Structure 1
Amino acid sequence: MQRTPINPWPWSLQLGYNQAELITAATRHLICAGQTAVDANGTPQHPGDMRRQIALTLDNLETVLHGAGMGLGQITRLTIYTTDVDAALQHFDVLGARFGVANAATPMTLLGVTRLAIPTLMVEIEASAAD
């Protein structure tokens, strides 16, 4: 897979993402359902702790990706839903650290929502990946 960043404006790079990426020569495409801060039994974890919920959500996303033989570096699109945009932004360094190691500046969207399916959850991340 070849990724070509498209950034008509450089401001998004300071926030850790590309405006777009042109993906060519991909052979597999994975679409992940929204991942949240739940344990292996689906029980919500870390109520009221946005930082730990983001970290566990990313752990769960990586587990799904690894099931397909992929990692964060293969994500081509990320959508983040949160019940508190300001709190999520305060802890975006968690995402930056994880995606930085993967050398990825994946195009993403952050959306504020009234609530998620389980009321104690504060963040949900959907992803698409390719290789």
Structure 2
Amino acid sequence: MEKRAINPWKWQDARNYVQAVEVTNVAGTLYVSGQTAIDDNGISSTADMRTQIIQTIENLEKVILTANYELKNIVRLNIYTTDSASFFENFDVVQTWIQKHQIKQSSTVLEVKSLFETLKVELEATVVK
């Protein structure tokens, strides 16, 4: 598998995403449903945004690793949140995670009216190998 980031500008580098990702010679593609801060028993978190982001990332990692894919090969990460201001106040959690795993993904952040039950953030990913 080969990946190529397409960035006509430099400003997105500070935000830890790319404008587009070209992938060739793919052996597999994993389309991950939106992951949220739901525990192993199916209970939705009532915690604050930062705690929910951390748990959501942990759940996303669990799905990807269970499928035998690598986090660094996330090529698309869509983020849904019920509170953009609060999400971006805690965006360092996401940025640190992206940098740690050397992820170069295209990305979209959308504020939505609501998510399931008490959830504040949802991450949806596409991963290749």
Q: TM-score, normalised by structure 2?
A: 0.96
Partner residue of 1:77?
Answer: 76
Structure 1 outlier segments of 4+, above 2 Å: none
Q: Say what the alpha-carbon RMSD is for the aligned residues.
A: 1.0
User: Percent identity at matched positions?
Assistant: 40
Partner residue of 2:120?
Answer: 122
- For residue 50 of structure 2, give the secondary structure of its aligned residue in structure 1: helix
Structural mapping, 1:60-71, within 5 Å: 60-71=59-70
Per the TM alignment, residue 48 of structure 1 is displaced from its structure 2 partner at its CA by 4.5
Per the TM alignment, residue 54 of structure 1 is displaced from its structure 2 partner at its CA by 0.5
The aligned length equals 129
**C-alpha contact (below 8 Å) 2:35/2:56 kept by paired residues:** yes
Q: Distance in 1 between matches of 2:126 and 2:42?
A: 22
Per the TM alignment, residue 44 of structure 1 is displaced from its structure 2 partner at its CA by 1.1
Letter in 1 for 2:20: A
Letter in 2 for 1:19: Q
CA deviation map 1:77-123 (0-9, x unaligned)? 011000000111111111111111111121110000000022x1000
Structure 1 alignment gaps of length 5 or more: none
Q: Distance in 2 between matches of 1:71 and 1:28?
A: 12
Structural mapping, 1:76-95, within 5 Å: 76-95=75-94
Partner residue of 1:13?
Answer: 13
Q: Distance in 1 between matches of 2:63 and 2:53?
A: 15
Letter in 2 for 1:123: V
Q: TM-score, normalised by structure 1?
A: 0.94
Letter in 2 for 1:7: N
Letter in 2 for 1:69: N
Letter in 1 for 2:52: Q
Does 2:30 align with 1:30? yes
